Amino acid sequence: MAKQEVKVSWKDKMAFEAEVDGHKIMLDAAETVGGENRGPRPKPLMLTALAGCTGMDVISILKKMRVEVEDFNVTVEGDLTDEHPKQYYKMNVIYTFKGKDLPLEKLKKAVSLSEERYCGVSALYRKAIEITSEIKIIE
């Protein structure tokens, strides 16, 4: 089994610097809770991880299917519980494709393969929360 590691170092106040695969990401809290808003909060990065993971899968699968899109983006909406510890209990993944005469069945197949077979983030999250998805096409 492969092992991955990230290192997070406290900088000051509520700011931390994460090192991920040689890249640095600043994490910080909002000013209202003692931070300086110099970077994203950790929880939204969970949404980012899902969007990035499934997005990379889908675009790779579509290339293998020889489906060319003009533009593609993934939006993930997360619903948080009201009580502490506040955590996501539901996520909705919106796949938006732009292009002419895009084959809907192939788009659905690429999304399904990502969600059910390839995206490790999705596989992990699905064990704990409800994840829904939708496909939008812009011509």
Span 75-127, pLDDT tens digits: 999 999 999 999 999 999 999 999 999 999 999 999 999 999 999 999 999 99
pTM, to two decimals? 0.95
Q: How confident is the model at residue 45 (pLDDT cuts 50, 70, 90)?
A: very high
What's the mean per-residue pLDDT of the chain? 98
Per DSSP, 6 falls in state -
In sequence order, what are the residues at sequence separation of 6 or more whose Cβ sits closer than 8 angstroms to the Cβ of residue 75?
51, 93, 94, 96
pLDDT of residue 18: 98
pLDDT of residue 130: 98
Residue 103 preceded by cis peptide, ω within 30: no
